[in-house]
Amino acid sequence: MEELLSKKTGEKVLLLGNEAAVRGALEAGVQFVSTYPGTPASEIGNIFYKISKEAGAYFEFSTNEKVALEAGIGASLSGLKTLVAMKHFGLNVCAEALIPFVYTGSRGPTVIFVADDPGCWSSAQSEQNSRAYSYLAHIPTLEPSDSQECKDFVKKAFEISEVFKIPVMVRTTTRVSHQRMPVKLGKLKELKSLSGKFVRDRSRFVTLPPRVLEMKEELLEKEKRIKEFAERRPGPKTKGQTKGIIASGISYLYAMESINELNASLPVLKIDFFYPFPEKIVKEFISPLKEVLVAEEMEPFVEKEIRIIAKEANCKLKIQGKSLLSQTGESKPEDVTFAIAKLLGKKYSLPEETKITALKRFPQLCPGCPYWLVFNGVKKAVDEKKIVFGGDIGCYMLGGMPPHNLQDFLFCMGSSIGVSHGIKKSNPAHPQKTISFIGDSTFFHSGIPALVNTVFNRSNPLIIIMDNSTTAMTGHQPNPAAPKDRQGIRIYDVVKACGVKNVKIVDPFNQEEFVKTVKDFVNRKEVSVIISEHPCKFVEKK
């Protein structure tokens, strides 16, 4: 990790995409970094957690992504170079802050780093394509393909933000963020001590109507200028060829590899400035072509843009994309090779599906994990068939897998409580019994408003807050109940302050007491909370 602070400009070091993004931010002179941990973006926070002091930047793990972005907005308005990092779902959480922030624009250059997870390697919930937010928020968006670009594009994003006074999004995917390659280091920027200052400018930072509509007009105007900037570079030459490829993100790398594999020669246009879309470059590229393949993962955002542009620029152009590549899951190199072979009319058959039966090895709770005893205790205490079990986001998601099988729904951070409340209210006379499992960090992230709602609107789910003194799933980051160097906020006090009368702290290793409490609390008329307190075995006892 020390190489991230290396002063050896020009040296090549092996970096993970996320590490390279950190380096890019340091080269840009980032001063303020906030995040909520989430894989595949987790390393960004983990690294800054370790090196921010030496780098001279402020860093925090915020309670959730909305708070992280709001903190970042505060820093930006105070003139600091700001980076906010998150996984794709975090963008949903902070969307309410993001959209007006693009209206007001940034003062200190601001970059929002977002990692998507096609194929759901480390994400439940959904396979989200965050590029949709580029349209929704009008936020300029860059898409790197590899580690070198992660570094360069983050740096570039800061420059764009500085020039146009607008936050810029850098969007990666798992295979980009978790790809390692030699990266050529640029010059590290020396930081002076932080001395940001919020300077009043109400016409810019107060988004009240009718001013807010003027702001939108100004944003659209700014967007035009950014588009011109994005278009101010040459596209690839087509040299009389009639077929070409347009690719973005990791698909670009697969396309380049496939062209070699097929011994083909094809012009490739890489879309790395996704938003605003570089229409002019695309126009020039497709005008002389007869057929084009658009290689991108998940939803066909680029393909749709190409179709619109082609209508005017080259209405006879045959456009292939999702006709050959799946919209679900990751593209694999051979999928892109197959699509390019089709484009070229070359023979290429996908490797035969192997008949060898693979053995599925499901992820498991670690040996010695206290959650084993939580699920075990619940099984002992209640008749599983008569309970609705609410799942939430964290290691305890594994409660939905064998041998536990204690999960009847799973949506998003905090939803184990929020959804249980709705289920309770659906039959006021005979509400179903529910048990919600939620972790300590997730409780602080999104569980508290849902808990307050059960008190406010009077329902009686049983909520088990599984306090293991860390954010375990994403690599053991601290959380409000478990900061590293001092006593954290007591979950018990928070739950009490929300107006919950039935609250008890139980160590699940005390099974008898735990089972007894579940039996008792599941029948209460008001909401009840068991705080299952036992540290993750990877957390040292304080």
Partner 1 sequence: MKNSKKQFNAVVVGTGGQGLITILQIMAKAAMDLRLDVKTSELHGLSQRGGSVEVHARIGKKIHSPLVAKGKADLILSLEQQEALNAAGFAGKNTFFLINKLISPIPFKSPVQEKEIARMLSQKTKKISFIPASDICRKELGTDVTAGIFLLALASIKEIIPIDFKTISKAVLDVIPEQYLKINRETLGLAQKYATEHKKN
Binding residues (CB under 8 A) for partner 1: these are 12, 14, 16, 39-40, 42-43, 121-123, 146, 174-175, 178-182, 250, 253-254, 256-257, 260-261, 332-334, 337, 350-351, 353-366, 395, 397-398, 402-403, 473-475
CA atoms of 123 and 394, how far apart (whole Å) = 10
- Angle at the Cα of 539 (from 26 to 19), degrees rounded to 5? 20
**Contact in structure between 245 and 209 (CB atoms under 8 Å):** no
- Shorter beta-carbon distance to partner 1: residue 119 or 418: 119
- Shorter beta-carbon distance to partner 1: residue 174 or 528: 174
**Contact in structure between 318 and 291 (CB atoms under 8 Å):** yes
- Shorter beta-carbon distance to partner 1: residue 66 or 270: 270
Ramachandran angles phi, psi of 35, nearest 5°: -160, 165
**Contact in structure between 527 and 454 (CB atoms under 8 Å):** yes
Q: How far is the CB of 271 from partner 1 (least distance, A)?
A: 16
| Residue 185 vs residues 42, 147, 189, 190, 457: alpha-carbon distances, Å | 22, 11, 12, 15, 56
Ramachandran angles phi, psi of 148, nearest 5°: -55, -45
Q: How far is the CB of 376 from partner 1 (least distance, A)?
A: 15
Three-state SS for 221-259 is HHHHHHHHHHHCCCCCCCCCCCEEEEECCHHHHHHHHHH
- Shorter beta-carbon distance to partner 1: residue 39 or 460: 39
Q: How far is the CB of 212 from partner 1 (least distance, A)?
A: 39
- Shorter beta-carbon distance to partner 1: residue 122 or 511: 122
- Shorter beta-carbon distance to partner 1: residue 203 or 354: 354
Q: How far is the CB of 144 from partner 1 (least distance, A)?
A: 13
Three-state SS for 467-504 is ECCCECCCCCECECCECCCCCCCCHHHHHHHCCCCEEE
Q: How far is the CB of 120 from partner 1 (least distance, A)?
A: 9
Complete DSSP assignment for 332-377: -HHHHHHHHHHHHT----PPPPP-SPPPP----PPTT-THHHHHHH
- Shorter beta-carbon distance to partner 1: residue 56 or 333: 333
How crowded is residue 240: how many other Cβ atoms within 10 Å of its Cβ? Answer: 7
- Shorter beta-carbon distance to partner 1: residue 13 or 136: 13
CA atoms of 220 and 234, how far apart (whole Å) = 24
Q: How far is the CB of 150 from partner 1 (least distance, A)?
A: 12
Q: How far is the CB of 408 from partner 1 (least distance, A)?
A: 20
**Contact in structure between 288 and 240 (CB atoms under 8 Å):** yes
- Shorter beta-carbon distance to partner 1: residue 340 or 448: 340
- Angle at the Cα of 18 (from 11 to 539), degrees rounded to 5? 115
Q: How far is the CB of 119 from partner 1 (least distance, A)?
A: 10
CA atoms of 329 and 298, how far apart (whole Å) = 7
CA atoms of 52 and 541, how far apart (whole Å) = 25
Q: How far is the CB of 368 from partner 1 (least distance, A)?
A: 12
